[in-house]
C-alpha cells in the first residue's frame, strides 16, 4: 500500500474480518486512512452514508492521534485496528501520547467556539458513530468507535 510517498509500517487483513494499519506520526500519513478504509469496504460493502460517516470519524481520530497525541513525532506510531462483529464494525485508533480528558473539551457549538479552526474532531466522532469511548493507556491513549452496519 503506497500513497504519495508514504507507506504504512504494517497493513494487514485476515479471514476473520479484522484489519490493521500502523504508521509513523507524520501529518501526510493521514492519507493512508482513505486506502485502508477502501480495503475495509471491499469486505463490508457499506452503503455510501455509512462509509462517509466511517471515513470522517476515523480520519478525525487519526488526525488527532498524529497531531495531538503524538505531536507529529515520527518516532511514535499510530495504530488503527478494525474488526467486524455482530452487525457492527469496531475500530480502534491508538497513539503513544499522553492522552486527554474528552469530557473537558470545549463545546464547538458554543458561540465563542463557532469560528475556531479546530476543536470539532471529537464532536464529529461522537455524532457520526454509534459508540465512542476514550481510554488512557500505560503508553498512549486510544479511541474506540463502533458503527452498526446492515449485513
Domain extents in the chain: 10-148
Half-sphere exposure of 75 (CA within 13 A, CB side): 0
pLDDT, tens digit only, all 151 positions of the chain? 444 445 666 556 555 689 999 999 999 999 999 999 999 999 889 999 999 999 999 999 999 999 888 999 999 999 999 998 878 999 999 999 886 666 666 565 565 645 556 556 677 889 899 999 999 888 899 999 999 987 5
CA distances (Å), 138 to each of 21, 96, 122, 141, 144, in order? 21, 9, 22, 8, 16
Architecture of domain 10-148: 2-Layer Sandwich (3.30)
- 3-class DSSP assignment, residue 100: coil
pLDDT tens digits along 83-106: 988 789 999 999 998 866 666 665
pLDDT tens digits along 68-79: 889 999 999 999
The model carries a pTM of 0.82
Dist CA 6 CA 29 (whole Å): 6
Chain position carrying cell 510517498: 5
Amino acid at each position: 500500500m503506497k500513497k504519495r510517498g508514504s507507506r504504512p509500517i504494517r497493513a494487514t487483513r485476515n479471514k476473520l474480518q479484522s484489519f490493521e494499519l500502523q504508521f509513523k506520526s507524520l501529518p501526510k500519513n493521514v492519507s493512508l486512512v482513505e486506502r485502508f478504509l477502501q480495503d475495509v469496504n471491499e469486505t463490508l460493502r457499506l452503503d455510501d452514508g455509512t462509509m462517509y460517516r466511517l471515513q470522517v470519524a476515523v480520519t478525525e481520530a487519526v488526525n488527532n492521534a498524529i497531531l495531538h497525541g503524538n505531536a507529529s513525532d515520527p518516532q511514535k506510531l499510530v495504530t488503527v485496528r478494525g474488526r467486524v462483529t455482530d452487525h457492527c464494525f469496531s475500530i480502534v485508533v491508538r497513539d503513544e501520547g499522553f492522552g486527554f480528558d474528552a469530557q473537558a473539551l470545549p463545546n464547538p457549538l458554543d458561540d465563542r467556539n463557532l469560528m475556531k479552526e479546530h476543536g470539532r474532531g471529537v464532536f464529529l466522532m461522537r455524532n457520526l458513530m454509534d459508540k465512542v469511548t476514550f481510554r488512557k493507556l500505560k503508553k498512549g491513549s486510544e479511541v474506540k468507535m463502533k458503527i452498526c452496519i446492515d449485513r
